[in-house]
Structure 1
Amino acid sequence: MAARARLDGLDLARGLALVGMLAAHTLSAGELVWGDPSTWIGVVDGRSSILFATVAGVSLALMSGRESPPAGQDLVAARVRLLTRAVIVFAVGSLLNLAGAPVAVILEYYAVCMMLCIPLLRLDWQRLAIVAAVAAVAGPVLLRVLIVPVDAAPGIGTLTELLVQGYYPVVVWFAFFAAGLALGRAGADRRAVQRSALFGGTALAVVGYGLGAVLPESVASSTAGLGATGWDSVLSAAPHSGGVAEVLGSGGLALAVIGGCLLLPAAVQLVLAPLRAVGALALTVYSAHVVSLGILAAAGLPTRGAGVFWTTLVLALVGAWTWRVLLGRGPLERLVGSAARRAASPAAP
């Protein structure tokens, strides 16, 4: 029962992240002003994808020994499974970029972060927490160091573009994967760990957003993570800025949301089954969403607006829940899982 509740809570957090990303893609959120309720939809900008990445880190721990870091042949198998998953996810992301949807596809960045987590699989949660903390501070600095020579040498390669450019620069986003991996290693099915994630994440969010609140406006809202080179933005709290305040604030919020979802009682989880289904079929739902936006764009139809969002949301909830009830795992989830298991299986005699 405890394991079931844990999985439900993690699916719920992933579902929330995906719904937030759908909103960010189809609604004009604008700048979030906490004192103005009409701008609160802006909370999805940046934070949803960070939650998505942090949940992914937790999932990596669950599929590689849970609280006990793998060793020996188990470690080799876990690394092969993770590498296989990352390669397939990268390929899916590359194909989705061909759909022509007016969105920044996250999957290629996501896959590179997964690959960078392969050396971390043998670490316990304490060391992973240290890695995440160092990455949270060093990543924004490293981004500013690397982005100048990369911008000065256009066309130097896709990998460098993924590492330091775009909406999800890997040198910064790796911290969210490491934090999620640390949470999973600590024992995400234990109530004490779930409460620590909720309250510790909330405290971290207060620190991060508090830092953003006291910074000068020119610094707090700077978005150098999108391609500018100003060092002012290293502390920025703006969405997709890759600043320290954003990493701490939005990363802490992601941990708090995960902890809160894991703590919800089974009755609430049952009521939220359609949202959990979206989380369980996240890769399939995300891919279908991007392809559908590409089709709308190619047909000259609107890709943004309340109508597009609500239609997308209803189709995602109903479609994912129906598929989950009748067929279980989603088609892309089956593909990735099956390929990873086969790659890590011992060779037949």
Structure 2
Amino acid sequence: MTHFSTSGATAGKTSAATGKGSRIAGVDAARGLALLGMIAVHIMPLAVLSSSSVPSATWAGTLFAGRASALFVLLAGVGLALLSGGSGSIAAPKLAGVRRQVVIRAVLICGFGLGLGMLDTNVAVILVHYAIMFFGAIAFLRLRAVALGCWAAGWLILSPGALYLLRPWLQQVLDPSRLGASPLPEDFGTPLVFLADIFVTGYYPVLVWFGFLLAGLCVGRLALGRPPVALAIAVLGALLAVGSKLLSAWLLAMPGALSSLRQATGLDSTQLAVSLVTGQRLGEAPQSIWFLAISAPHSGAPLDVLHVTGCALAVLGAAQLVCMALHALFGSVGEMILWPLTGAGAATLTLYAAHLVALDLFSDASAPLPRTMLFITYAIGCLLAGLVFGFLGKRAPLEALVHSVSRTLARSA
């Protein structure tokens, strides 16, 4: 789910603008928000029943379902772009070294993902999918913003249609439903089923989600330190997010649309309305042609893909504008104000893994606690950890491990 802060920039040198040896504060802040969003959907229910058994979406389902994980992947692309030269050019020999680093990081992250998937958390761990997307990104690291923009736009527009056509066929032929939401080491024993789940039928189908990474690569090639660029990204993202939702609402208001979806899913009107917000219980929705008009999280429908891409761009652009404004108004004090969020964003791999381990280890003790209180506890823990990392100017443990191993092995190759 993510760029897990594995770029080569110095962890503690966070700046509102881009610069050599510095991180971009807006990218880290957006990454921190994505981390908190992911923790929210891991802990909070996405929907609840009232005393009269009427379902409704929770704030976590309404705000973060599908959006936080897509933001993570888009920021992965931004991080890879920064690692491979950002808005500037990079010499061929250095690019070859960067590609080797990306391969090593992908292998390490895949290993982390397989290990975390074995925990008893009921969380769909994205790290294996994330690693596969890293491998795919290697072929695009030499491209500049315009070419990457074309690739991203084409991928985001066309891949949902390919998913819509391929998923039912693969589900029938290979039965990948017997795999869990998180890939496990034993899944390699059935490679065709495993690949079908990773690329098409799983919770994070790489066939579609790779488009988010390409969009991030394109954005990372822009001059993010310039306010007009950040503003343009925020405005474009907001227009895309709102426009896709409005288009979905207009299409679903057409005669027969919702009734067709109710018939396909077996849900009543209230249940379907909640499912269109949370993305849950829509497994049979593709049996209706009106599936292509929905924008429900994790559906892989065209308007869902465009909506979450727009949300990710809007959050990144807005975060960068806020960071630049605080830096302009208060200088280094403004950067210190952001340390809890940007520090957490620079340590997302460590904090993501830590919260999953904690959810497993303390499941019995935390079960009686109200979910909101539990989320607040985890969120405060992440922000405090971010404050510590920001103050110390050090990489978090897993980020330091990935950085050190990838650079050492890439140089020796």
Over the aligned positions, Cα root-mean-square deviation in angstroms equals 2.6
Amino acid in structure 1 at the alignment position of 2:107: V
SS at match of 2:122: coil
Tell me which residue corresponds to 1:262: 320
Kept in 1, the 8 Å contact 2:241–2:311? The answer is: yes
* C-alpha distance in 2 between matches for 1:207 and 1:260: 18
Q: Give yes or no for contact 1:19–1:313 (8 Å, CA) kept in 2.
A: yes
The letter of the residue matching 2:339 is: A
Could you say which residue in structure 2 is the equivalent of 1:3? 18
Within 5 Å, which residues of 2 pair with 1:1-349?
2-3=17-18, 7-30=24-47, 39-41=58-60, 42-152=62-172, 153-154=174-175, 156-216=192-252, 217=258, 221=276, 228=284, 229-230=286-287, 231-264=289-322, 265=325, 266=327, 267=330, 268-297=334-363, 301=367, 305-326=371-392, 328-346=394-412
Q: Return the TM-score normalized by structure 2.
A: 0.77
**Offset of 1:17 from its aligned partner?**
0.4
8 Å contact 1:165–1:225 — kept in the other structure? no
Alpha-carbon distance in structure 2 between the residues aligned to 1:286 and 1:163: 23
| 1:122 CA displacement | 1.0
Which structure would you say has the larger Rg? 2
Kept after mapping to 2: 8 A contact 1:167/1:226? no
Would you say the 8 A contact 1:224–1:233 is kept in 2? no
* Matched AA of 1:133: A
Aligned residue for 1:344, secondary structure, equals helix
Would the alpha carbon gap of residues 112 and 74 (structure 1) be closer, same or farther in structure 2, given more than 3 Å must change?
same
SS state of the match for residue 193, structure 1? helix
> Unpaired runs of 5+ in structure 1?
32-36
Provide the secondary structure at the position in 2 that maps to 1:3.
coil
SS in 2 for 1:99: coil
Greater shift after overlay, 81-90 or 189-198?
Answer: 189-198
Deviations 1:270-320 (A, max 9, x none): 322111111010000000011111223467835871121111111111123
User: Structure 1 residues 142, 69: CA separation in 2 closer, same or farther (over 3 Å shift)?
Assistant: farther
Deviations 1:76-135 (A, max 9, x none): 112111111111111101100011111111111111111111101111100101111111
Distance 1:188 1:258, change over 3 A: same
Tell me the TM-score normalised to structure 1 length: 0.90
**CA offsets, 1:117-156, max 9 Å, x none?**
1101111100101111111111111112221232121253
The 2-side partners of 1:300 and 1:65 are apart by 44
Report if the CA contact (8 A) 1:100-1:298 is conserved.
no
Deviation per CA, 1:169-216, whole angstroms, max 9, x where unpaired?
A: 111111110001000112222223211101111111122112221122
Q: Is the 8 A contact 2:18 2:224 kept in 1?
A: no
